[in-house]
Amino acid sequence: MTGDEDREQVFVVLYERHYGQVLAYARRRVEEAAARDVAAETFLVAWRRLDEAVARGLPWLYRTAQLTLANRARTERRAARTVGRLAALPAEPHVADPAVTHVDRPQVFDALRTLPAADRELLLLVVWEQLDVRTAAGVVGCSAGAAEVRLHRARRRLRGVLHQPPARRAHPDLPPSPEMTT
């Protein structure tokens, strides 16, 4: 077997193992067609930097997908569409949860958008991709300690929004709650 064949086999294993996760990551953040392209671009980078991709695994792939998304948003002026994806999430949640019935879902995504990008990404990596804090910190590029602080801040901000009375939340002229400004 040649070195090239070895390399291909290693890549195919990496691809088969993680394609679904990378695609899901992208689909949670952009529309389906763009998500497919992001997944392909992510693995193209992995193919070209195979040693690095294999050594660092899924977190590296997430990080690469994140950069790919950022590049697309920047270079193709798709930032609005990318952010819009959060607002265009399914009207009905996939998982029945009593907590969900007591809040306005658009309000949750509005609240998410108020978070600093790195904080939001950390929170979603932990909740949606189910990464542990240390791994999520590696994806975002901060220390585990900093990630803990950011996560705490992000959750507190979201809770501040979710616990506001609906009437006040719905009023566009009202200032954000004190918690929102911390």
Partner 1 sequence: MTTTHSVDSLLSALNPIPVDAATTDLDERARTDLAAILASATAADPVVGPRRHGGTSGRRLTLCAAAAVAVALVAAVVVPNVGQHSGVAYAATPRPLVYLPVATAKDAPTLLKAIAGRVAALPDDIGTGRYAHVETLGWYLWTTVDGERVTSAVVPQHRHQWVAGDGSGRTVVTATPPGRRTVREDRTVAADASSLMWPLRSLSSDDATLARQLGAGHPASNGPAERYEAVKDAYLQMPIPPAVRAAMLRYLAATPGIIVTGNVTDRAGRDGVGFSLDSDYTGLPTRYTLIIDPDNGALLGSENMLTTTAGKLNVPVPSVIGYTVFLSATYTDMAN
Q: 123: how many CB neighbours lie within 10 A of its CB?
A: 21
Single residue of 54, 81, 104, 105 touching partner 1 by CB under 8 A? 105
Dump the DSSP string for 34-103. HHHHHHHHHHHHHHHTHHHHHHHHHHHHHHHHHHHHHHHHHHTT-HHHHHHHHHTS-SS-SS--GGGGGS
- 28 counts as binding partner 1 under rule CB under 8 A: yes
- 15 counts as binding partner 1 under rule CB under 8 A: yes
Single residue of 6, 13, 57, 71 touching partner 1 by CB under 8 A? 71
Single residue of 13, 44, 87, 117 touching partner 1 by CB under 8 A? 44
Question: Angle at Cα 24 formed by Cα 6 and Cα 77, nearest 5°?
Answer: 100
What residue type is 6 in one-letter code?
Answer: D
How far apart are alpha carbons 19 and 127 in whole angstroms? 19
Compose the 73-92 pattern: x for residues touching partner 1 by CB under 8 A, - for all others.
----------------xx--
- 7 counts as binding partner 1 under rule CB under 8 A: yes
DSSP 8-state symbol, 137: H
How far apart are alpha carbons 106 and 57 in whole angstroms? 34
Instruction: Name which of 134 and 156 has its Cβ closer to partner 1.
Output: 156
- 67 counts as binding partner 1 under rule CB under 8 A: yes
For partner 1 (CB under 8 A), the number of binding residues is 54
Which stretches of the chain bind partner 1, using CB under 8 A?
Answer: 7-8, 11-12, 15-16, 19-21, 23-24, 27-28, 32-33, 36, 39-41, 43-45, 47-49, 64, 67-68, 71, 89-90, 93-97, 99-100, 103, 105, 108-109, 123-124, 126-130, 155-156, 158-159, 162
